[in-house]
Structure 1
């Protein structure tokens, strides 16, 4: 049983190695490598590094502008203290009006 498992794994690895060399003809121009049931080729280190740099630049831009211009998130109006509002502004009837009617 162990021999069959090792043999099947060896055949699978050999098949995967052979499958990585099989490529279909490019269609519609050069839109990259087309593969079937095989993971796509890994990007080069240059592309990975460039993606990391651009992602870092984007996050720096977002966080910098949140820190330096918070009115984009909180709004541009001044904060009003609710304790300064009068009962009339809040729609509360005066105490002399009596109990509320249903």
Structure 2
């Protein structure tokens, strides 16, 4: 009985979209929306710089600037990977962390009672 009730509710929820789809109203509304989105997504023809398309021009990068950036990136990754391999305690922590339960009152600075 529960299954037939759920099936009836599902069928009633699909009634309106099915009716609109059969009439063609939903199809035309969907097509109009897609057309509108596609028309606003078109880029203007021509050079975007001539049309003033950029807010800020990114500029051009020379060969020497590109080599400097690549060299800096290579050095940075070398530094990170080298220190991760040779000094893993900086990444995963020190394995010999002291147990605070073994500390005495004198070590904690608590005066004797």
With the length of structure 2 as denominator, give the TM-score of the two structures.
0.38
Q: Which has the higher contact order (CA 8 A, sep 6+)?
A: 1
Higher helix share: 2
Query: Structure 1-normalised TM-score?
Result: 0.41
